[in-house]
Amino acid sequence: MVARKWFLLVGENGKDLTSTTSVGVDVEDVDTLRDAVKEKLRDSHLAGIAASDLTVFANRADMVSLALKEGIEAVEVVARSSLLDFAILKSSKPRSFFIPPWNGRPDELRGRYDLVLASYRLGIDEYQDVFKNQLGFAPVAGISISAHRRHIMYSCPTYAGDSGAALLIKDGFLVGIHLETINALREEMDRKKTVKDRLNDVEESLDNIARSGLAQGCSGLLVHEFKDVVSEYWTQAEHNASRNNELVI
């Protein structure tokens, strides 16, 4: 017997269309679910919308709204880390302006002069209107890699709100994300008296940067580390989905 599915229809703005909440569809696979939902709502909410245009999310909490130039789009959160303060979003529609990840080895980043930090410089809006809501680029220098090849250390001007900013190679590949300045990180470790597991491998490198005299040494998470987070997340997500047997549109 096929398990009964329940779905919630959500608009492009991410808001629930509550009139369709808790409608049962007795189907098993995603394509059949799309067709069944389209059939039930073809004369109302889904008039003029093809079943293939519907995006299915395994969990309502895994969908967020993303503001793009073309408008608001619902995207899927495929991984998140409250410890590292970042999330990975996945769009159901291929878009050329999404930045591809860099696939090189971490050691190949040493000595390069073509890395930049891209951010919106939120901390200086109140002082310089010319930078307000404008994406800024700052050169990254003095690059070193942590012992376990998880983090990149560098010298770069940063501002409040830069946490999570993209570290890019100038030819357009994502190297990693900016975490924070070395001084702030050292203060946090000293205050808490314990170093979190994810930062154990960077402590020696942080000390080396501090001793080298870099006043604005920074730490970033390398992009290949995202894959491990995604793998861990999906292993847990698949387990939960099989246990709860739920799909949400």
Share of the chain above pLDDT 70, in %: 41
Q: What is the pLDDT of residue 183?
A: 55
Please compute the mean of the pLDDT values over residues 61-78 and round it to a whole number.
67
Provide the pLDDT confidence category of residue 18 given band limits of 50, 70 and 90: very low
C-alpha span between 154 and 141 (Å, rounded): 6
| Rounded-to-integer distance, Cα 180 and Cα 24, Å | 47
> Which range is most confident: 113-127, 145-159, 218-232?
145-159
Output the CA torsion sign for 100, 29, 80, 86: positive
Q: Which of 36, 79, 67, 28 is nearest to 54 (CA)?
A: 36
Summary mean pLDDT of the chain:
66
Strand, helix or coil for residue 71: strand
Question: How confident is the model over 102-110, as a mean pLDDT?
Answer: 87
Domains of the chain, each with CATH number or no CATH: 1-98+225-249 (no CATH), 106-222 (2.40.10)
Nearest to 21 by CA among 1, 49, 40: 40
